[in-house]
Amino acid sequence: MSRQVIVFDLDGTLIHSAPDLHAAANVALRAAGREDVSLAQVISFIGNGVGMLVERALKATGPWTAELQDGTLAAFMAFYEQNTTTLTAPYAGVTECLEELQAAGVVMGICTNKPQTPAREICEALGLSRFFGEICGARSDLARKPDPEPLLQTIRALDGDPSRTLYVGDSAVDYRTAQNAAVPFRLFSGGYLNHPLPNLGPDQIFDTWADAGFQRALTGLV
Ligand SMILES: O=C(O)COP(=O)(O)O
Ligand SMILES: [Mg+2]
């Protein structure tokens, strides 16, 4: 029998990382001669990777060109790489919940559209690496979510089976990724989702890590 696996998204699911992404976005926008964007705007730009975040920030503040994109993304990454956990922390209850799942023998991994190096550094800095057998971030040789491949690759690395895996995320991108990979999905609604997701029942949604809500959401699957 295959192992019981849970794969988590990172930004907006396990960690509140938007304040550091917001700071990096505004440093990069100022270098491009643009106005700042708000935290709420940046939250709405998260989910499809840093390239798309920068593209959306540029389009929200003026015209977009490929050249501007390249320079602004480079400025964004230069700042972000030095400030991945200045303002970022796990959501309340996350560490305790992961401890319980690990003690129960659940095998866990991360599948995120955040670039691989900062994703791994953030998990290390926040004391989360010890829970995960695989941390799969965005890489040039791998399609990004909602393509199913990063999630399927994460599950393979954990020696799991997609039908006995849960993917836990906070966005429509995560929901579509799970659907594309035929993996059961649970939504953390306390993250960065800014429009409702169709076709999810109340037992597939939880809004806090700090009480039994998450455990309830997992009932019957792990
Ligand atoms: O970098 C992003 O845009 C999103 O990251 P996530 O996949 O961990 O939510
Ligand atoms: Mg997310």
Domain ranges of the chain: 3-16+88-218, 18-82
211 appears as a binding residue in the annotation: no
Q: What is the pLDDT of residues 5-18, one digit of tens each?
A: 999 999 999 999 99
- CA-CA distance, 182 to 187, in Å (whole number)? 15
Torsion sign across C-alpha atoms 121, 104, 112, 219: negative
**Dihedrals φ, ψ of 31, to 5°?**
-65, -25
**What pLDDT score was predicted for residue 41?**
98
Q: 217 pLDDT exceeds 60?
A: no
Is 174 an annotated catalytic residue? no
**Do residues 184 and 10 touch, judged by C-beta distance below 8 A?**
no
**Ligand 1 binding pocket mutation candidate from 10, 48, 176 (most atoms within 8 A of CB):** 10
Whether 169 shows a pLDDT value over 50: the answer reads yes
- Please identify, in words, the CATH class of the domain defined by 18-82: mainly alpha
CB-count burial class (<10 Å; 0-12, 13-18, 19+) for 27? middle
Residue 159 annotated as binding site: no
Minimal CA–CA distance to 219: which of 194, 199, 202?
202
* pTM of the complete model: 0.95
How sure is the predictor about 222, in pLDDT bands with cuts at 50, 70 and 90? very low
Which protein residues have a CB closer than 5 Å to ligand 2 (ion)?
A: 9, 11-12, 170-171
> Which residue in this structure is represented by tokens 């999905």?
185
Pick from 51, 55, 42: which is nearest to 16 by CA? Answer: 42
11 CA from centroid of ligand 2 (Å): 4
- The response to whether residue 88 sits with its C-beta less than 6 Å from ligand 1 reads no
Residues 6+ apart with CB under 8 A from 133: 107, 108, 109, 157, 158
- Distance of CA 1 from the midpoint of ligand 2 (Å): 30
Predicted confidence band at 199 (pLDDT cuts at 50, 70, 90)? confident
Q: Which of 42-56, 145-159, 166-180, 195-209 has the lowest mean pLDDT?
A: 195-209
pLDDT at 3: 78
Structure tokens at 118: 């900062």
Query: Would you state the pLDDT for residue 221?
Result: 53
| 9 appears as a binding residue in the annotation | yes
Residue 155 has what pLDDT? 98
Q: How far is the CA of 2 from the centre of ligand 1 (A)?
A: 28
Share of the chain above pLDDT 90, in %: 88
Which atom of ligand 1 is the closest one to the Cα of 110? 8
Q: How far, in Å, CA of 22 to CA of 4, rounded?
A: 36
Q: Tell me: the pLDDT tens digits for 77-130?
A: 999 999 999 999 999 999 999 999 999 999 999 999 999 999 999 999 999 999
* Assembly ipTM: 0.96
Residue 202: per-residue pLDDT: 87
Ligand 2 centre distance from Cα of residue 65 (Å):
26
**36 CB neighbour count, 10 Å cutoff:** 14
Domain 3-16+88-218 class in CATH: alpha beta
